[in-house]
Amino acid sequence: MHEVTWAGVRERVLRLAGHPKAEKVFGARGHGFRLGPVLSEEQVRAVEVDLGVGLPAQYRSFLLHVGAGGAGPHYGLMTPSLGDDGWQWRGIGLAFSAQPTTAEFAGLPFVAEVLQGELDALDAQEPVEDAFATDEEFRHAHVAWDARYEELYDAQTAGAVFLSEQGCGYTSLLVMTGPHRGAIWEDLRPMDRGLEPTGHDFARWYRNWLERTEQQLNT
């Protein structure tokens, strides 16, 4: 079923690299319409062992039949690769790549919505200097508050992979666990909008990008 989804996709993507106007496509200078080699079934299973859960079906099939990373939306797709500390997603071959994600981190529960509520509540509780008798008390309170804020902020992306860099600090995430598993979310926190769902699964997100690109280049 999922193999049919990706029939001919690798060839279509690689064909775009030779188009005379390919560099005019947003993000093309980041990935060059290059795709890494596909992963083997054994490699995919090894990723899943580190992840602690099976990969979302559409993305799993993409890794097996299209490529492990490279050309894709925005500045291209991160690639799962094996390092000294296990599997992680890295920007192999990308000029502009998002931060790496370890499989261990991506396998945690995805609870971004719950944490956003906690962050909003915490934001309203930021210590105010006038409420403290001394500067020292205020400083200690603010350090503790800031540490808790950073902890919740960092935990928001647990259960997901930083899959694509959009630019200006925005990224696209692939959710790996929970009820949103297999969906693409956007990290829009640099504009104070938090993490938001795109409404697309991985296959629709990727194929929409490919179809828009082909239309732009009239191929």
**pLDDT tens for each residue of 156-198:** 999 999 999 999 889 999 999 999 999 999 999 888 788 999 9
Tokens encoding 171: 């990224």
Residue scoring higher pLDDT (118 or 207): 207
Q: Give CA–CA dist 73/10, Å, rounded.
A: 14
CB-based contacts of 182, cutoff 8 Å, min separation 6? 56, 57, 58, 59, 174, 175, 201, 202
Global pTM value: 0.90
pLDDT in the model for residue 152 = 85
pLDDT score of 5 = 84
Q: Residue 161 corresponds to which tokens in the numbers above?
A: 């992979």
Homologous superfamily of 2-110+158-216: SMI1/KNR4-like (3.40.1580.10)
Q: Phi then psi for 44, rounded to 5 degrees?
A: -60, -40
